[in-house]
Chain A
Amino acid sequence: MSERRRVAITGMGTVNASTTGGTEAVAGALALGRSGIRPVTAFSVDGCPSRLAAPIADETLAALTDRDRARRFSRICQLAVVACELAVRDAGVAGGTGLGIVVGSEHGDFRSSEEFALGFLRGGATGLSPMIFPNTVMNTMASVAAIAVGAKAPSVTLNQATVAGDLAIARAVMLIESGRAEAVVAGGVDEICEVVYRRLAEMRVLSPMRGGGAEGCRPYDDAHNGPVLGEGATFLVLEDLQFARARGATILAEVIDAAWGNIPVAPHRAAPRRADHGSPVGRLLRRHRQARSGFRRCYGSGNGDPALDDWECALLARELDAGRAEVSALVPPVSLAPLFGQHGGLGALRVGAAALDASRGMGPVLVHGIARGGCRAALVVGPLASSAEP
């Protein structure tokens, strides 16, 4: 078997409630630490138990999208295309048969699905728009982004709650390791639309969840009472290290390890007392706990959902042996949800933040995520030199 391919992070692009741009923009937003969460104004929230979100202003998106694309693409497709193009430009990577794309999304394009269905309900068969229908399939974001950046290697769309972005990046790592692509643009995207926001709020899965309290995103805090929705797209460029070096790319960090797994619990359930007995994520954490002096930082998927926050902390404490002084600072982990809101791009922002830490010499950094239903992902990111460690 050939030597394992190593995977580098060479660029990033984002459009979210706090910032838009490449690596510098992400670094700036993280340094500033200003939350993009504010009252919803794009639609009426009268009678709705939730009123907050981390939305992108329409004028921000309009400034990033030309008139032709604004006409042809749905809003979520525009977000995906903008962020992918920013990431590719940031990394300086070219399109072609070696470039792949992996898009993670929690909800996809419900706005188009509703618009398409309303066409029928209002006008029957003749009221249907053939232009809108393709947007109802969740892989259309990846499709238009692949066309925009010329990605002709595999194009993969993953649907997953809470950890869509982390999972997309972990899968992208495997696409490179397995030789299916030289470089992959990977991350996540979601948008806030009224039908999804209102239904989630009515089902009391957004802050304030059952039990009440003040609305807000407070991960791992005693007063946490649910997530606040965000929107946006964040993509990283991952490359085969040899390929990146050969083209003279600026290497921000290396993905030292990546894995995803499942803790079998019922759909939509979190089980804070349930351990991870066998998934590859548990194995990854145990492997690195033994092999390293410890992670320098841990980013977690905690979004204020109390059961999920507690589950993540319990798992990490158990598997990282948080009683030890050098790792006790890792639990609870760092959450970016208060800055950007919960959406499919958040996992990619976590990995991006870890890459920025690594680019400043910090490492290794753990990026961890778990969703209700038990899907779990972890990535270890570090500076290039640290990859020589076991």
Chain B
Amino acid sequence: MTGIASDTRRIVVSGMGIVSPFGVGLKTFWTGLSAGTCAIKPATLVETEGFRSRIAAEVPADVVAGLAASPRRSRADRLALAAASLALADADLDGRDRRAAALVVGAVGGGMYEAEEWYWEEARSGRPSPKIRALRSILPDSHAETLGFRLGVDGPKETLVMACASGAATLALGADLLREGVVTAALCGGVDVLTRICFMGFNALRLLDPEPCRPFDRGRRGMSIGEGAAFLVLEDAERCRARGGRAYASLLGAGMTTDAHHVTAPHPDGEGMIRAMSLALQAARVAPREVGYVNAHGTGTPQNDRTEALALCRVFGEGRVLVSSTKSLVGHAMAAAGSVEAVATVLALQHGLLPPTANLMTADPEIPFDCIASEARPAAVAVALSNSFGFGGQNVSLVFGQSGS
């Protein structure tokens, strides 16, 4: 059947690295998630005067200042280098495997934050600014260029720009490189930082909540922008076992679809979302009843949450699966969101604890699921699904299983 990328080759997650609004590393990230801490605060990186929403989940300044990468690099490159290096170190690949790995990076903003500083300065002063150097890393592919060089990777290198589904797509397409036997390991993940254009754009579309976002709440008014970088090392399971590597979880299957309906709005029936989830489950050879947890796209916009719930009902049945949105804790990290949430999903499987949806006070009757309000929920889940949907009607669903699945 078309759309199902599947064969007998099993793929595991053997390393993870993250820089999130909670700080650097998996432990800090998990501590924040499991405690239900909301990292959404007043924005400091961009001008907020006159905007409907003036908050964001930023990576704290002291965390960024403490990163090893040179401050001359773009903010996004620094986050990406830190997260990718952590993932590779965590996987403990030998030099040869590391060198031959694929590098699949999800990005949207690139080095736009610094390029905006240049543009703003020139536009307002009318004089040339030395900040023009920022243009050298303005494009999304600058991260892959930097990572490929700094990490010495000579496997397939590509930059996916798939809006808010970018991070998840890197895992789906990275897994295809493993399944097709092109590589035995792939470093996959996304990065994005807060930019003026992004902050202003979502404000202009009135998609940002003035308060920290409240996914699935009846009074939700939009999303909260976040930032960060998360990378995962995918590896052929046999290869990982043979070298004595650790498997956090298995990536059992991935579904990718397009709505072909509207540039910014999801298909009202969730048709593309349903297909993405169904294809991922079929590729994983998993029945919907076997899935114990869904890390939802869950942006907190009225339309997204309603449509996603509709799609979840069609795939799993009303109330048949536990659902939460970690965007309520760390904001919507755009191109990084899918890989950030993949890390959250894998950690939830590993710890037997499902992260909560923060700020969920009044359940929306149109969302007939237990959305794990406020407090993390202990649950021994064998299989979990992570959804990422983006502008352009891009839908990606990933199915993860306990490493022995």
Residue numbers of A with Cβ under 8 A of B are 1-2, 95, 97-98, 100-101, 106-108, 113-114, 116-118, 120-121, 124-126, 128-130, 133-134, 136-140, 142-144, 146-147, 150-161, 167, 171, 174-175, 177-182, 199, 203, 259-268, 276-280, 373-375
Contact = CB atoms under 8 A, between A and B. Distances in A.
Given A136-B201, A171-B158, A280 B259 contact: no
B379 interface: no
Interface of B: 1-9, 49-51, 99-100, 103, 107-108, 110, 116, 119-120, 123-124, 132, 135-137, 139-142, 144-146, 148-149, 151-163, 169, 173, 176-177, 179-180, 182-183, 196-197, 200-206, 256-264, 272, 275, 390-394
B113 to A, nearest CB: 13
A140 B258 contact: no
B260 A147 contact: yes
B119 A117 contact: yes
Contacts of A179: 1-6
A138 B99 CA distance: 29
Given A128-B201, A179-B4, A158 B159 contact: yes
Given A151-B260, A264-B152, A156 B182 contact: no
14 contacts: A117-B196, A117-B197, A121-B123, A139-B161, A146-B258, A155-B392, A157-B162, A160-B158, A174-B173, A180-B2, A259-B156, A263-B154, A268-B145, A278-B99
B139 A107 contact: yes
Contacts of B390: 139
B400 to A, nearest CB: 19
A277 B394 CA distance: 36
B205 to A, nearest CB: 5
B139 A159 contact: yes
A137 B141 contact: no
Contacts of B162: 139, 155-157
A210 to B, nearest CB: 16
Given A139-B390, A375-B145, 9 more contacts: A117-B116, A125-B49, A140-B392, A147-B262, A155-B392, A180-B2, A279-B155, A280-B182, A374-B148
Contacts of B142: 267
B204 A133 contact: yes
Contact of A262 (B148, B161, B393): B148
B155 A129 contact: no
Nearest to A101: B258
Max chain B CB contacts within 10 Å: which of A120, A150, A151?
A: A120
Given A128-B204, A156-B169, A137 B108 contact: yes
A113 B197 contact: yes
Nearest to B271: A152
Given A1-B7, A264-B153, A153 B182 contact: no
A291 B139 CA distance: 39
A118 B116 CA distance: 11
B173 A156 contact: yes
B108 A152 contact: no
A130 B8 contact: no
Contacts of A174: 173, 176-177, 180
B7 A2 contact: yes
Given A107-B139, A120-B200, A268-B136, A146 B158 contact: no
Contact of A154 (B204, B258, B261): B258
Nearest to B202: A133
Contacts of A180: 2-5, 176, 256
Nearest to A180: B5
Contact of A129 (B2, B180, B204): B204
B173 A279 contact: no
Nearest to A103: B161
B127 to A, nearest CB: 15
Contacts of B259: 152
A155 B260 CA distance: 9
Given A97-B275, A159-B107, A146 B392 contact: yes
A151 B258 contact: yes
A251 to B, nearest CB: 19
A353 B23 CA distance: 50
Nearest to B258: A155
Contact of A97 (B3, B5, B144, B180): B3
Nearest to B99: A278
A140 B158 contact: no
A160 B141 contact: yes
A88 B108 CA distance: 28
Contacts of A261: 154-157
A32 B49 CA distance: 57
B88 to A, nearest CB: 14
B159 A160 contact: yes
A114 B112 CA distance: 12
A1 to B, nearest CB: 5
Nearest to B254: A180
A138 B197 contact: no
A331 B162 CA distance: 37
A113 B116 CA distance: 10
B200 A125 contact: yes
B156 A143 contact: no
A139 B3 contact: no
Max chain A CB contacts within 10 Å: which of B3, B4, B99, B259?
A: B3
Contacts of A143: 263, 391-394
B8 A95 contact: no
Contacts of B201: 116, 128, 130, 133-134, 136
Nearest to A2: B7
Given A146-B258, A151-B260, A264-B154, A171 B173 contact: yes
A130 B205 contact: yes
Contacts of A203: 135
